[in-house]
């Protein structure tokens, strides 16, 4: 075989190898593009799903978990569950809880009943039912003071009990940095004078965050 034929054969072989390499590279590029578009589509679908999903009230927390998270935030902790936007609704929930304990205590005191409500307590609001938790000592004190208030007809004693209730509510307020308006709203149903016979009224929060 002459040198010229050898050169031609080698050139053909190199050409074939180069062609195979080009075809392989084109195939790889197509595969990578397909994977990239596929991942982009999955990411877009995930983002769209997240946007369409309704945000859970209180970040899905309830009861003691919700209370502990708010106490943590009030003390400078991070908002891990993104619940700061539900602050007004949370305060309305606690207000209803505290008022319910006082009201139930007063009714039980008037009827000589002693049956403290559960804690956490299920509270009905416009956006559904939520479990509200208060520290056991404070929940018990609200109920017991309410019972004493409901059983007493002495104006001075009732005034002292009312003041004790206000102090307890204020301690709750300080624990979650709720402000003085929380105390005023929670205490607005507490009478000092002995109550006259009136039909029971359903408790509603002073400001309804669910109406907005």
The helix or strand, by DSSP H or E, that contains position 132, with its residue range, turns out to be: strand 128-132
Q: Where do the domains of the chain lie? A: 1-53, 57-211
> What is the distance between the terminal CA atoms of the chain, rounded to a whole angstrom?
94
Burial profile 115-135: b = 16 or more Cβ within 10 angstroms, e = fewer? ebbebbbebebeeeebbbbbe
pLDDT (tens, 9 = 90+) of the chain, 212 residues, equals 677 777 777 788 888 888 888 888 888 877 777 777 666 656 555 555 444 444 588 999 999 999 999 999 999 999 999 999 999 999 999 999 999 999 999 999 999 999 999 999 999 988 789 999 999 999 999 999 999 999 999 999 999 999 999 999 999 999 999 988 999 999 998 987 765 544 455 565 554 555 44
Query: What 3-state class would DSSP assign to 192?
Result: coil
Q: Which two tokens stand for residue 64?
A: 């003691």
Q: Which two tokens stand for residue 126?
A: 């416009």
CA 151 to CA 108: how far, in whole Å?
Answer: 8
CA distances from 71 to 22, 23, 52, 209, 210 (A): 65, 64, 31, 20, 22
* Omega within 30 of 0 (cis) for the link into 122: no
């Amino acid at each position: 075989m002459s040198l010229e034929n050898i050169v031609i054969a080698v050139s053909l072989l190199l050409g074939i190898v180069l062609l195979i390499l080009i075809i392989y590279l084109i195939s790889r590029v197509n595969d990578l593009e397909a994977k990239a578009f596929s991942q982009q589509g999955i990411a877009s679908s995930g983002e769209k799903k997240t946007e369409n999903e309704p945000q859970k009230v209180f970040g899905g927390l309830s009861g003691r978990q919700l209370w502990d998270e708010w106490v943590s935030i009030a003390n400078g902790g991070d908002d891990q569950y993104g619940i700061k936007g539900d602050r007004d609704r949370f305060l309305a929930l606690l207000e209803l809880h505290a008022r319910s304990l006082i009201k139930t205590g007063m009714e039980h005191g008037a009827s000589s009943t002693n049956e403290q409500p559960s804690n956490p307590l299920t509270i009905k609001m416009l956006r559904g039912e939520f479990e509200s938790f208060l520290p056991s000592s404070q929940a018990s004190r609200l109920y017991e003071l309410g019972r004493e208030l409901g059983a007493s007809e002495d104006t001075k004693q009732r005034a002292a009990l009312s003041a004790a209730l206000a102090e307890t509510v204020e301690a709750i307020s300080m624990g979650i940095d709720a402000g003085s308006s929380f105390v005023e709203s929670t205490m607005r149903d507490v009478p000092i004078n002995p109550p006259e016979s009136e039909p029971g009224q359903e408790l509603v929060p002073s400001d309804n965050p669910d109406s907005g």
